[in-house]
Amino acid sequence: MDNTQQTLEEMVAQTGGGQFAFIRGHVTKEGEKRDRKMQIGVTPANLHQRDLETLRSLDPVALAAHPDMVRPLVKGFGERQAPTAEDIRASIDKRIASKIKSINREHPQKETTVVPVEGTKGRLTHNTANPGTVLLAGLEVWASPIEKGTEVKRTETVRNSVVTAVNAWITRRYEVAGKFRKYELKLDGSNFDSLVMGGKVLDRETIAKLVG
C-alpha cells in the first residue's frame, strides 16, 4: 500500500466517481493519526472470492525464492528460520481452506439499527442506537504516513511455527479481505477531522445535519 501523502485537491478529484472516499485525520484507539482511502461498495464475500483466486495462483517454489519472503522468529529456535517450498505449500493450503470456509459460511439476516445517511447515496451509514456517530465501510486501499508524534511502538511477533509466519506474510502481501474495514466515526471530532466523498469535503457539522 503506497503511503505517500495526498493533498485535499487530489482526494476530491479521486472521489468524484463515487467509488472511493477518504477519512481525513482518523485517530485509532491507540492514538495514531493518519488519512485513509476506502473503496466503497464492496463486500467481504466479494473480497474472499478474489483472495481464493489469488491463493490458487501462487507458486510455492517461486515464493520460497522471493527476496521479501519472511524469515520468522520461531519459538524454540535461536535464530530466524527460512521457509521451504513445502512450508509455503502448507500455508497456501491452510489459507485456501480458510477462504472456502469463509465463503460458505452463512450469515443469517438480523434486524439492524443501521440506516443510510441521507445525501450520501448509501456510502455512509448511521447506527440509530449509537447517536453521535456514523459508519464508513469498505476496502482500505491507502493510508498516509502516521502523523509525527502519534506513532505507537510495536514489537516483532514470535511465531509458533514457520507455517504460521508464512500465513501472516501471505495474508498481508496478497490477500485483500483482511483489509475490509468498518470505521465508527465520532461527530464530536475525537477520532476524525472530515470526510471526502462524492467529490466534496464533508466536515463534521455537515455530516451531523445529514444524520439529523
The answer to whether residues 20 and 37 touch, using CB atoms and an 8 Å cutoff, is yes
Measured distance CA(105)–CA(113) in Å, rounded: 23
* pLDDT at 212 (0 to 100): 87
Ranges of residues in the chain whose predicted pLDDT is under 50: none
Task: Report the Cα–Cα distance between both ends of the chain, in Å, rounded.
Answer: 36
* pLDDT at 58 (0 to 100): 98
Measured distance CA(30)–CA(28) in Å, rounded: 5
* pLDDT at 106 (0 to 100): 61
* pLDDT at 109 (0 to 100): 61
* pLDDT at 112 (0 to 100): 84
- pTM score, whole prediction: 0.89
